[in-house]
A and B are shown apart, each in its own frame.
Chain A
Amino acid sequence: MPRRVYLDNNATTPLLPEVLEAMRPYFGECFGNASSIHHHGQETRAAVERARESVASMLGCRASEIVFTSGGTEADNLAIFGLTCSGRASAGDHVITSTIEHHAVLNACKHLAAQGCEVTYIPVDGRGLVDPDDVKRAIRPNTKLITIMLANNETGVLQPVAEIGKIAAEADVYFHSDAVQAAGKIAIDVNKIGCDLLTISGHKIHGPQGVGALYVRKGTQLEPMLYGGSHERSRRAGTEYVPGIVGLGKAAELAVTGLERGDDRRMTAERDRLERELLTVEATGLNGADSNGELAPRVPNTTNIYFDGIEGEALVIALDLKGLAVSTGAACSSGAIEPSHVLTAMGLRHDRAKASIRFSLGKQNTPEDVDFALGLLPETVAHLRELSPVWPNKVLSR
């Protein structure tokens, strides 16, 4: 087997061994339905509630404010549709979001628009940042919800959510933030952010796929999307996915202790080293850098770099065949790659957006993994450029 290095942790992260261990009993002997009265149910109910406390502790909220879902997408959809479409909302409602949201938010808003809701998409600047003043100006009397992400999945850029939270509070408008890419990478406190709703996902924090959570501030009127039993305080019907919830709880605990231990500083150092050395390759650059080369604040694990003259898609395939997993843009249903809406929103030229690669580190990555990437990138990029019909500076070696 060739060596494989995984630097695509914003797509998903490997399950930590401790998380798997925590989950294991709930695939086996602890199988009860958490709603059951008997011993079996009590056992899993206790596990679910412990996990809820762990997640609440990571986000600085009360356990009763956590709703478990099937993942980030469902949590985003529940936040958006729960506040707007479900009965209480009328066609005249207004929602504010940004151009760089994840498709779980963007396409939910698109659906709202098709139902007669008005949607304002706040643009970003060249650094990938939303301007809070733009959000403030976009507020109207009928604005029901502001939904702006905490950290962007492609650039890692942290949005000024605390300022947006203040603006939302002053205007008395609900504020939701998709924090899927921020959780576990930076400390999150829903009260400092001032949001009413916040999304996290298990598999982005070294927990399992298929589970996520929505923070819902006490008192927030949220209509469910799924109707059934009274699970999750009637906000999300359906028997709890106990092993997944337990895994999410454990992953949240480990995320908190990791941050207390300084994991983020080590990760920043490795990310910065990767970035610094990749930038020594000819005709490359950091997406989001301003004219002084300065970047907006970012999560510690993500960097997004363009390699002029190449198709990012071909580079991703070439690197994968050599054992390095990275990504570009968002994968569509067929697995083909479309130009990133995030980079395009930042004003990148079309060809440069398509020549961009996202590297995202995880807790499992070692300095040797970064060395492996640094060993492969320059020669692979050079080979692609040599064969590119649009790269002018070919070495005339033949």
Chain B
Amino acid sequence: MLPAETIVVAMSGGVDSSTVAAMLRAEGRTVIGLTMQLWNQRRLAGHEGMPESVQGRCCSIDDVYDARRVAESLGVPYYVVNHEERFERDVVRPFVEEYLAGRTPIPCSLCNNHLKFDQLLIVAQQIGADKIATGHYAQVAFDEARNRWLLKRPADKSKDQTYFLFGLKQEQLTRTLFPLGSMTKPEVRELARKHKLVIAEKPDSQEICFVPGGDYKRFLEAYLSEQGNSPTEVGGEMVGGEMVTTDGKVIGEHAGIHNFTVGQRKGLGVATGSPLYVIQIKNDTRQVVVGKDEELYSRTLRAHRVNLISMAELREPMRVAVKIRHKHQPAPAMIESAGPEEVRVTFDEPQRALTPGQAAVFYDGDIVVGGGWIENALP
């Protein structure tokens, strides 16, 4: 039998997760390295506007090779598990569908909720591990007073990944370790060098792992064409529509609402005297509403499919800071329940570009109260 407290490290082949494996190993824990094979990088190669040879980040043979070398050098067992089907069903398709519905999705959160802290955690337990550890910059801690597991912002605020982790449930947090939460990125690199990890100097990855070069439009078109759709027609329906101003005047046409995101200025295909921005994307009429920058600001939003972490339910309105996109500075706001798993957020000051499909994550200081998906901005 395996010794108690066996930990699976989710290894991507990058600096962060490799360092986690090295740290836990140095602490004397029993470590098993797992890499999730999530997407076949060659799958869309040569499709509609994609290069013949696609060099994406995630699950490339090079990354698996790196993870395997690190595991081998640390003397830990290492395996690759294939979750391509689940990834396509729970991450890639929703990603495409959200864009087609005029929203701007965050696939990383979906992957965390449905793959890393669900499927991977199950496999980890099945093969005899008690917990999983990842290279995320976040902290997890048990709070006696509340009798709950808390998710907290990391020491290195510039690397904070809690925005993508708001969906974690209590039973997932119980079984999760974020060993990098108390470290800065330079410290992690230093540690990687100290452990002589072969990937110590590997550059950080930023983009969405399955979208090569960060060009999501090209990815959408390649995926849609692979599924038998044309760029202008999806599932037998035209995706193009009108470009209208906030006062209802039609000023042009567009080739598909999936090409737009709220707050976008470039590539609108219309020329007017003053700069125009996407204010709203109307799913039902396929209209893209454009207007002036000041029209992008609103004070209130509705979030749905809310997950609360630091408390079981939101009984009364609460003052928090709310982050509405990954790079957003959390802004003071009041949150109140608006139905089951629904929360209304009212900011002290109007915020620019509340974007449906993005997450609204609520913070009480460093503690993640919870978060949900932005359904719409309210007038």
Q: State whether B125 touches A317 (Cβ < 8 A).
A: no
Question: Which of A57-65, A97-105, A214-222, A332-340 has 4 or more CB atoms under 8 Å from chain B?
Answer: A332-340
Q: State whether B122 touches A321 (Cβ < 8 A).
A: no
Q: Which of A318, A334, A383 has the most CB of B within 10 A?
A: A334
Partner of A321, one of B59, B61, B77, B81: B77
Cα-based distance from A45 to B117 in the complex (angstroms): 60
Nearest CB of A to B204, in Å:
22
Chain A residue with the shortest CB-CB distance to B6: A321
Nearest CB of A to B40, in Å:
9
- In the complex, 12 of the A-B residue pairs with CB atoms within 8 angstroms, ordered by the A residue number, are A313-B123, A314-B81, A314-B127, A317-B79, A321-B2, A321-B77, A334-B35, A334-B64, A334-B80, A384-B126, A387-B125, A388-B122
**A318-B80 contact in complex given A334-B37, A335-B64, C-beta closer than 8 Å:** no
| Contact indicator per residue, chain A 297-322, by CB within 8 Å of chain B (1) or not (0) | 00000000000000101100110111
**A321-B32 contact in complex given A314-B123, A335-B68, C-beta closer than 8 Å:** yes
Q: State whether B127 touches A317 (Cβ < 8 A).
A: yes
- Which residues of B lie under 8 Å from residue A333 when comparing CB positions? 61
Asked if A262 is at the interface of the complex by the 8 Å CB criterion, the answer is no
Partner of A338, one of B32, B79, B82, B127: B82
Cα-based distance from A333 to B40 in the complex (angstroms): 11
Cα-based distance from A314 to B123 in the complex (angstroms): 6
- Which residues of B lie under 8 Å from residue A321 when comparing CB positions? 2, 32, 77, 127-128
Known: A320-B77, A321-B127, A383-B128. 9 other contacts (CB 8 A): A313-B81, A321-B32, A321-B128, A333-B61, A334-B59, A334-B80, A335-B80, A337-B81, A387-B125
Interface size class of B (residues with CB under 8 A): 20 to 34
Q: State whether B82 touches A337 (Cβ < 8 A).
A: yes
| Contact indicator per residue, chain B 123-144, by CB within 8 Å of chain A (1) or not (0) | 1011110000000000000000
Partner of A336, one of B77, B81, B127: B81
Q: Which 7 A-B pairs have the closest CB atoms?
A: A336-B37, A336-B82, A336-B80, A334-B64, A335-B80, A318-B127, A314-B126
| Contact indicator per residue, chain B 81-112, by CB within 8 Å of chain A (1) or not (0) | 11000000000000000000000000000000
Asked if A141 is at the interface of the complex by the 8 Å CB criterion, the answer is no
- Which residues of A lie under 8 Å from residue B59 when comparing CB positions? 334
- Which residues of B lie under 8 Å from residue A318 when comparing CB positions? 126-128
Nearest CB of A to B7, in Å:
13
Cα-based distance from A321 to B127 in the complex (angstroms): 8
Cα-based distance from A326 to B68 in the complex (angstroms): 20
Asked if A17 is at the interface of the complex by the 8 Å CB criterion, the answer is no
Q: State whether B79 touches A335 (Cβ < 8 A).
A: yes
Asked if A389 is at the interface of the complex by the 8 Å CB criterion, the answer is yes
Nearest CB of B to A388, in Å:
7
B residues 29-60 near A (Cβ < 8 Å) are 32, 35, 37, 59
Cα-based distance from A384 to B127 in the complex (angstroms): 8
Q: State whether A311 touches B79 (Cβ < 8 A).
A: no
Q: State whether A313 touches B2 (Cβ < 8 A).
A: no
A residues 380-395 near B (Cβ < 8 Å) are 383-384, 387-389
Cα-based distance from A337 to B80 in the complex (angstroms): 8
Chain A residue with the shortest CB-CB distance to B125: A387
Q: State whether B81 touches A317 (Cβ < 8 A).
A: yes
Chain A residue with the shortest CB-CB distance to B81: A313
Q: State whether B128 touches A387 (Cβ < 8 A).
A: no
B residues 1-49 near A (Cβ < 8 Å) are 1-2, 32, 35, 37
Nearest CB of B to A42, in Å:
43
Nearest CB of B to A129, in Å:
28
- Which residues of B lie under 8 Å from residue A338 when comparing CB positions? 82
**A389-B122 contact in complex given A317-B127, A334-B37, C-beta closer than 8 Å:** yes
Nearest CB of B to A356, in Å:
14
Cα-based distance from A333 to B81 in the complex (angstroms): 12
Cα-based distance from A338 to B43 in the complex (angstroms): 14
Cα-based distance from A311 to B34 in the complex (angstroms): 15
Cα-based distance from A225 to B68 in the complex (angstroms): 34
B residues 54-76 near A (Cβ < 8 Å) are 59, 61, 64, 68
- Which residues of A lie under 8 Å from residue B61 when comparing CB positions? 333-334
Chain A residue with the shortest CB-CB distance to B59: A334
Cα-based distance from A318 to B77 in the complex (angstroms): 11
Cα-based distance from A334 to B128 in the complex (angstroms): 23
- Which residues of A lie under 8 Å from residue B1 when comparing CB positions? 322
Chain A residue with the shortest CB-CB distance to B129: A321
- Which residues of B lie under 8 Å from residue A389 when comparing CB positions? 122
- Which residues of A lie under 8 Å from residue B122 when comparing CB positions? 387-389
Cα-based distance from A334 to B78 in the complex (angstroms): 12
Q: State whether B125 touches A313 (Cβ < 8 A).
A: no
Chain B residue with the shortest CB-CB distance to A329: B82
- Which residues of A lie under 8 Å from residue B123 when comparing CB positions? 311, 313-314, 317
- Which residues of A lie under 8 Å from residue B81 when comparing CB positions? 313-314, 317, 336-337
- Which residues of A lie under 8 Å from residue B126 when comparing CB positions? 311, 314, 318, 383-384, 387-388
- Which residues of B lie under 8 Å from residue A337 when comparing CB positions? 81-82
- Which residues of A lie under 8 Å from residue B37 when comparing CB positions? 334, 336
Nearest CB of B to A60, in Å:
42
Nearest CB of A to B354, in Å:
35
- Which residues of B lie under 8 Å from residue A311 when comparing CB positions? 123, 126
Nearest CB of A to B128, in Å:
6
Cα-based distance from A23 to B116 in the complex (angstroms): 48
Cα-based distance from A318 to B128 in the complex (angstroms): 7
- Which residues of A lie under 8 Å from residue B80 when comparing CB positions? 334-336
A residues 328-384 near B (Cβ < 8 Å) are 333-338, 383-384
- Which residues of B lie under 8 Å from residue A387 when comparing CB positions? 122, 125-126
Nearest CB of A to B258, in Å:
30
Cα-based distance from A313 to B123 in the complex (angstroms): 9
Cα-based distance from A311 to B32 in the complex (angstroms): 18
Cα-based distance from A336 to B128 in the complex (angstroms): 19
Cα-based distance from A381 to B242 in the complex (angstroms): 57
Cα-based distance from A140 to B307 in the complex (angstroms): 63
Chain A residue with the shortest CB-CB distance to B2: A321
Nearest CB of A to B184, in Å:
32
- Which residues of A lie under 8 Å from residue B32 when comparing CB positions? 321
Cα-based distance from A338 to B123 in the complex (angstroms): 16
Cα-based distance from A53 to B5 in the complex (angstroms): 57
Cα-based distance from A214 to B123 in the complex (angstroms): 42
Q: Which of B77, B122, B126, B128 has the most CB of A within 10 A?
A: B126
- Which residues of B lie under 8 Å from residue A383 when comparing CB positions? 126, 128
Cα-based distance from A240 to B44 in the complex (angstroms): 41
- Which residues of B lie under 8 Å from residue A388 when comparing CB positions? 122, 126
- Which residues of A lie under 8 Å from residue B128 when comparing CB positions? 318, 321, 383
